[in-house]
Amino acid sequence: MLRATDGTHFSQVAQITSGKTLSYTDATAATNTSYQYEVQAYSGTNTSLASNVTIVKTPLAAPTALTATAQSRTSVQLNWTDNDSSATGYTVLRATDGVHFSQLGTISSSNATTYTDSTVVSGHSYSYEVNAFATGNVSAVSAVASADHAAGGALGFDRDGAIQQLSPAWLDGQRFVRNRLLRAALKRRHALYAAHKDHDGGCEQLYGQDDRVAAELFI
């Protein structure tokens, strides 16, 4: 088994002693490197002509130890281990169903090991993958890391001024069509309100019956 990196100067990388062997794995190849291979048959001191040349380029080493941690209502921080010094950057992928990933961002740094996703929405779960890239080459993706992004800021006020904490799970259960209308029943019998965000991003509030209930939803 002969190998070259310039297409001209081949040297032996292995000698296979079985006459029936039809495959070989080169475990000494480096990442992100183009190699050319030839094979010769031999018997004793007699050898055949070299085979045709086959060319392959090895991928970059994939990042490992990816973690995803919710930092606030609007951000998730990713951290990973860089395993390839020849990488020139990293691509961050995200999915909301754990299956269909799409590109979220690109980092043009050879030694990057962190990224902050500032486009998350509270109360949702996100899955992430990261791969390394160099000119004309990419690595496999990392293992998936997930973050459950709790809402953490939905508050209501009843007519006596008491603060009511509305849990993310409760809010999820009360969402109307297209997640635009929210309904909540605070502990008072008639304290029914509905709130939704208008087209300008403001919060319109509707009050139930004669009770004077205000609510601010930070979601």
Nearest to 82 by CA among 117, 133, 116: 133
123 three-state secondary structure: coil
Domains and CATH numbers, the chain: 1-58 (no CATH), 64-149 (2.60.40.10), 154-217 (no CATH)
Please say whether the beta carbons of 182 and 171 come within 8 A.
Answer: yes
3-state secondary structure of 61: coil
Residue 39 has pLDDT above 80, yes or no: yes
- Top-confidence range, 16-20, 131-135, 185-189, 202-206: 131-135
- Please report the pLDDT score of residue 160 as a whole number: 54
pLDDT of 170 > 60? The answer is no
* Overall average pLDDT of the 32-47 stretch: 93
* pLDDT for the residue 208: 42
Confidence label for 212 from pLDDT (cuts 50, 70 and 90) = very low
pTM: 0.62
CA 35 – CA 216 distance, rounded (Å): 63
